[in-house]
Amino acid sequence: MRAFFLAILGSLMSWWGVFLIAALDSSMIFFLPFAVDIAIIYMASRSPEFFWLYPILASAGSICGAAVTVHIGRRLGDAGLKHFISEKRLDGLRHRIETKGAVALGILALIPPPFPFTACTLAAGALNVKTAVFLGTVFVGRLVRFEAEAALARIYGRRILRWLESDILEYAVIGIVIVGIVGTAITAVQFVRKTRAHQGRPHRHRAA
């Protein structure tokens, strides 16, 4: 079992893995806080000559995932958001959009987890902010955050690798992955239930 999880982690710790994790992290279902940040730090520590590249890939992946979430938000509309975002948070996001616009909402991408940025992305779609401006701001915000992490990883790479590749941390990471799988499954079930609540229960056909 340990070898299985390590094989999965090994395959994800690559350039395409960074892109994929970032795309999933911006979706409504994936649940694994700090996954993107850890992947970038690890890759930048292992290959410091490409430290600048991994943040670009992660930012591009974030935009892909965010674009899907924005589309879902547009399908839900303002009325449908109440099934996914608390009324208090929704009021705050609506006020921010009305007073400061798409850039002010997208710049929140700078804030690391556990800040619920997916809710901002969903609201951006439902409240009809300018998609290009919002996603462009998200890309810049993510790029600044990830490049800062990668630059630090390049400087302290050897120390970080010794810590990340220790046996104790391997087991800790395996535990985190298991939590992520369980959390993602729970989030997926909740998403399906909330979607059905928004759409209304389908009518049952009576038997003849």
Contact predicate 134/106, CB 8 Å: yes
What pLDDT, in 10s, does the model give residues 48-96? 999 999 999 999 999 999 999 999 999 888 888 888 888 888 888 888 8
| Per-residue pLDDT, 3 | 55
Q: Measured between alpha carbons, how far is 180 from 184 in angstroms, rounded to an integer?
A: 6
Would residue 204 count as lying in a domain?
Answer: no
Read off the pLDDT band of 207 (50, 70, 90). Answer: very low
Instruction: Specify whether the CB–CB gap between 65 and 26 falls below 8 A.
Output: yes
Q: Residue 32 falls within a domain, yes or no?
A: yes
Is 201 part of a structural domain of the chain?
no
34 phi and psi angles, rounded to 5 deg: 70, 5
Domain around 146: 2-196
Give the pLDDT of residue 1.
55
Residue 140 lies in a domain: yes
When comparing pLDDT for 205 and 127, which is higher?
Answer: 127
Those residues with Cβ within 8 angstroms of residue 27's Cβ, 6 or more apart along the chain or in another chain? 65, 68, 69, 118
Residue 169, pLDDT score: 63
Indicate whether 46 pLDDT > 50.
yes
Higher-confidence residue: 121 or 82? 121
pLDDT for res 163: 74
Domain count of the chain? Answer: 1
Instruction: Tell whether 202 is covered by a domain.
Output: no
What pLDDT sits at residue 10?
61
Distance separating alpha carbons of residues 86 and 202, to the nearest angstrom: 25
Could you give the CA distance from residue 179 to residue 45 in angstroms, rounded to a whole number? 25
pLDDT averaged over every residue in the chain? 82
Q: pTM of the predicted model, to two decimals?
A: 0.79
